[in-house]
Amino acid sequence: MIPRMTTVGTLKNYRYDLNRSNNTMAKSMNKVITRRNFNSYAEDPAMATRCFQLRRSFQRTSSQLTVNESIRRKYDVAWSAMENISQDINTIAKDTGFTSILTGLNDPDGSGRNALGQSMAAKAKSIIQTMNGRYGENYVFAGADHLQVPFTWEPEENEGYIAEPDPTNPDHAAAFQYKIAPNSPEALAGELFTNDPAKADQVAQVNPKYDEAFTNDVLNGVNTDPDAKNDPRFGQYLKPDGTGTNDVVGADGANIIPLENEDYDPNSSFKYLKADGTGTNLESEAHSILHYRGVPVDSMDETDQKKMEYFMKGETKYLDLGLGFKEQNGEAVSSSVFDAALQGVYYLGGTGTEKVMVDMKNSDPPRQVEMELPNNIVSIMSRMSEILLNCRAEDGEWASESEESEFFALAQRFEDQASLVKQRWDEMDTESGFLRDNSELLTDTADSLSQQFMALEDADPAAAITEYMFARYCYDAALKVGNSVLSQSLMDYMNL
């Protein structure tokens, strides 16, 4: 059966086909304008999903690349700092004065040793200034706490310092030179000590060279030497003229002096200690101690050692650099991240001290003494400079046999720790190389991902224009045949 052809039906079909041609032309024109294959998820769900996955991977890789570049530049700054430090160490190691002391050839005089000591002290301070360098606003060698200056020189505090001595407190005995007189008003008030000799208990001055057997021989007539009583060994006590006596009182009695407090420490009134061990209340005069993030570098105190151990082994600053980040029990797996915490004290040889047996110079018979030598190379240089500055300015004579022996032991320690510093610089160089290689890998990955989603999203301009021109041709052709399609049929005419 042939369907009836009417104007209304024909017009309906024509409008449908014309709208479809118009929509096809509009889509192809939009593709030319936007240069994209689709502009909404609904247009192509499969391709849109794939592009979303690629873009998400691209964003993650770009973020990792940005972090990697920042850390790489930080490591470049750290590497340059270690290069400068290595040069400073080599300057000391190759100094003619230093090598002359060690070899014993052309050993410098006092002025030469003092000058070498000043040079070593300056190099030590220079190394610390280098280690306190920044990258941007962050300290490079401050570990995870990049806002706190890592190294500081702090005055050596006197552990026995008593700020407000209390004469009634037994724990404050070190602050008082004398013991209080019994039954005195002060003693009845509870005071135990005093610095006023008039308030102190009075006792006979003891003869430190007293020889009981010799004294008894003189008193018993066994020793008939008329000058025997002038011998320093005679008498349990000392008279005002310095000779001995066994009488506490009387014409031949002993010299009466305030009773000394055996626990008295003159340094207890000073807050700081100088390099020679004497006290001072001025920071500028105090012996400088190297600290790392508030902890003394050479301290063997258990609490300080735990802090240092945490800094070097426990503290981390993990970053995701595209190594396959994983978590286990809520913590990052170390092999899947990069630790960017640079602990400055680690790169200078470590912390604490080590007990070593040191040969005493010019000792007859030969003997060894146990000494504690620092592990940190800056502390070693600082201590060597102190010993050299203690040498007599006139002829360079060592301050003591102990200091001379300690210097030679420190020199050997300096050589060992210089090698360790070089080894840890090499470790840093390896990590810097990894960051450079990883940067190239992340760059290549980001470029590959970018090309993939662009190939899916971006339209080919030539193909898009060709498609648009064809759609436009179809639309124009549909318009041109409109008159013939819309002519009235015979049945429509008879119904008029």
Give residue-wise pLDDT tens across range 156-167.
999 899 989 999
Rounded Cα–Cα distance for residues 174 and 439 (Å): 63
CA dihedral over 372, 378, 384, 390, signed as positive or negative? negative
- Which of the residue ranges 103-112, 115-124, 285-294 would you say has the lowest mean pLDDT? 103-112
What pLDDT, on the 0 to 100 scale, is given for residue 4? Answer: 60
Structure tokens, 30: 């939009």
Q: Which span out of 240-249, 343-352, 445-454 was modeled with the highest average pLDDT?
A: 343-352
Q: What is the pTM of this model?
A: 0.75
Q: What is the mean pLDDT of residues 218-243?
A: 87
Picking from 63-72, 236-245, 439-448, which range would have the lowest pLDDT averaged per residue? 236-245
Helix (H), strand (E) at residue 308: helix 302-309
Phi, psi angle pair for 101, to nearest 5°: -65, -45
Among the listed residues 279, 234, 276, 269, the one whose alpha carbon sits nearest the alpha carbon of residue 252: 234
Q: pLDDT grade, residue 79 (50/70/90)?
A: very high
Residues 152, 125, 114, CA angle at the centre, nearest 5°?
130
Q: CB neighbours (10 Å) of residue 443?
A: 15
pLDDT at 442: 92
Percent of residues, the chain, with pLDDT higher than 90: 41
pLDDT at 401 over 80: yes
- Extract the tokens encoding 139: 């300290």
What is the per-residue pLDDT for 494?
53
Tell me the average pLDDT of the chain: 86
CB 377 within 8 A of CB 90: no
Rounded to the nearest 10°, the torsion over CA 410, 413, 418, 420 is: -150
Confidence of residue 428 (pLDDT cuts 50, 70, 90): very high
From 292-306, 417-431, 480-494, the region with the lowest mean pLDDT: 480-494
Cα distance between residue 90 and residue 73, in whole Å? 26
- Position 487 confidence tier, pLDDT thresholds 50, 70, 90: low
Task: Determine the Cα–Cα distance for residues 336 and 332; give it in Å rounded to an integer.
Answer: 7
Most confident by average pLDDT, 17-31, 138-152, 240-254, 475-489:
138-152
Helix (H, G, I), strand (E, B) or coil at 313: helix
Q: Give residue 88's Cα distance to chain centre.
A: 19
242 φ, ψ (degrees, to nearest 5): 95, -10
The secondary structure element, H or E, covering residue 257 is: strand 256-258
Q: For residues 187 and 168, what is the distance between their CA atoms, to the nearest angstrom?
A: 9
Distance, in Å, from the CA atom of 323 to the CA atom of 334, rounded to the nearest integer, reads 10
Which pairing describes strands 288-292 and 151-155: parallel, antiparallel, or unpaired?
antiparallel
- Give the per-residue pLDDT at 105: 58
DSSP tally for the chain: helices H, then strands E: 13, 19
Question: What pLDDT is stored for residue 484 in this prediction?
Answer: 65
pLDDT at 310: 93
Confidence label for 303 from pLDDT (cuts 50, 70 and 90): very high
